[in-house]
């Protein structure tokens, strides 16, 4: 078929780099491995059992839900406002758009290392600013104190997710024809009514894409947690992704089989989560119509 000629290279690449590792992951999850990674035979479902009965798992899953939920919700809300702002014409708008791009263009590692210093207990500018402004009396241990580490990471997660989502919503807003606004204004609608009854519903497709993509990106996000949580021992603040990574590659654990099981679990988890969201959205639309 001619299609194969045009699509062939793409298909090959996808199969070799995406499908094959996924299959390898499944196979590995049923294997037993030595410390240095040599396969020693089948482990049946032992890896899955070990993983699912691990005492840290519940905590890690909870962390992940908080992490993804908070970052996605905050990002969507703030981006809606920011997009609205950026779709108005004003002097200097171009500079604002460029500024918004920076956290998107900068590598996550770079931003994470930067915030690692900013959040530092003694030398971080955040503590220094808050102290100077009198908002706090003592410095806060943003990265070491278990009550503060999650919000600190969430803040960074939102910060780096805002640019993409904002641009998505700007595109969505641009797609709304201006006559609708004119007609509504002639009919005497107030701005809040226009926003709630016209803008938001028309933005639904963009919001939908924003939520799904952000869920996937944030769930899989690695550098922020890896670097900001790096000096904390144990698994207290890990998400499912960093937990899996530690299981696979950190010398104390180095349990390849269990890590593979964790990997499969992660993939299924995000697929199901997105599926639940899809169902939720459809259900609500069904009820409204």
- 61-100 binders of another protein (CB under 8 A): 82, 85, 88, 90-93, 95-100
Contacting residue, 67, 172, 238, 246, with another protein by CB under 8 A: 172
Q: Which is nearer to another protein, 133 or 287 (CB)?
A: 133
Residue 35 as a binder of another protein (CB under 8 A): the answer is: no
Residue 183 as a binder of another protein (CB under 8 A): the answer is: no
32 membership: H or E segment, kind and range: strand 31-33
Q: What track of x and - describes contact with another protein for positions 263 through 282 (by CB under 8 A)?
A: x--xx--xx--x--------
Q: Which is nearer to another protein, 122 or 287 (CB)?
A: 122
- In sequence order, what are the residues at sequence separation of 6 or more whose Cβ sits closer than 8 angstroms to the Cβ of residue 244? 259, 262, 263, 266
Near another protein in 107-166, by CB under 8 A:
107-111, 113-115, 117-118, 122-123, 125, 128, 159, 162-163
Number of residues that bind another protein (CB under 8 A): 89
Segment interacting with another protein, rule: CB under 8 A, options 50-58, 68-76, 141-149, 209-217: 209-217
In the complex, what is the shortest distance from the CB of residue 232 to another protein, in angstroms, rounded to a whole number?
14
> From CA 186, how far away is CA 188, in angstroms rounded?
5
Instruction: Give me the long-range contacts of 263-268 (CB less than 8 A, separation at least 24).
Output: 263/25, 263/29, 264/25, 264/26, 264/29, 265/48, 265/51, 265/52, 265/240, 266/219, 266/240, 266/241, 267/22, 267/25
193 membership: H or E segment, kind and range: helix 191-194
């Amino acid at each position: 078929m001619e299609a194969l000629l045009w699509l062939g290279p793409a298909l090959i690449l996808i199969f070799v780099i995406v499908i094959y590792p996924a299959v390898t992951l499944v196979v590995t999850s049923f294997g037993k491995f030595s410390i240095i990674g040599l396969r020693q035979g089948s482990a049946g479902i032992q890896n899955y059992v070990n993983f699912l009965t691990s005492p840290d798992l519940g905590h890690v899953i909870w962390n992940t839900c908080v992490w993804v939920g908070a970052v996605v919700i905050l990002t969507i809300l703030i981006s809606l406002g920011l997009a609205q702002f950026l779709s108005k014409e004003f002097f200097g708008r171009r500079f604002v758009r460029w500024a918004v791009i920076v956290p998107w263009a900068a590598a996550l590692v770079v931003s994470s290392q930067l915030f690692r210093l900013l959040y530092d207990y003694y030398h971080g500018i955040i503590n220094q600013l808050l102290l100077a402004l009198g908002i706090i009396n003592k410095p806060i241990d943003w990265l070491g104190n278990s009550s503060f580490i999650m919000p600190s990471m969430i803040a960074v997660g939102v910060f780096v997710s805002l640019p993409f989502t904002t641009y998505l919503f700007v595109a969505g807003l641009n797609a709304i024809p201006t006559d609708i606004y004119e007609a509504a204004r002639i009919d005497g609608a107030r701005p809040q009514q226009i926003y709630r009854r016209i803008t938001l519903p028309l933005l639904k497709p963009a919001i939908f894409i924003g939520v799904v993509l952000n869920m996937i990106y944030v769930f899989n996000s690695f550098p922020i947690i890896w670097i900001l949580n790096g000096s904390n021992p144990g698994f207290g603040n890990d998400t499912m992704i960093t937990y899996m990574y530690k299981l696979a590659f950190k010398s104390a654990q180095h349990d390849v089989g269990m890590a593979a099981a964790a990997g499969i679990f992660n993939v299924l988890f995000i697929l199901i989560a997105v599926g639940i969201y899809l169902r939720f959205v459809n259900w609500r639309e069904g009820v409204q119509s």
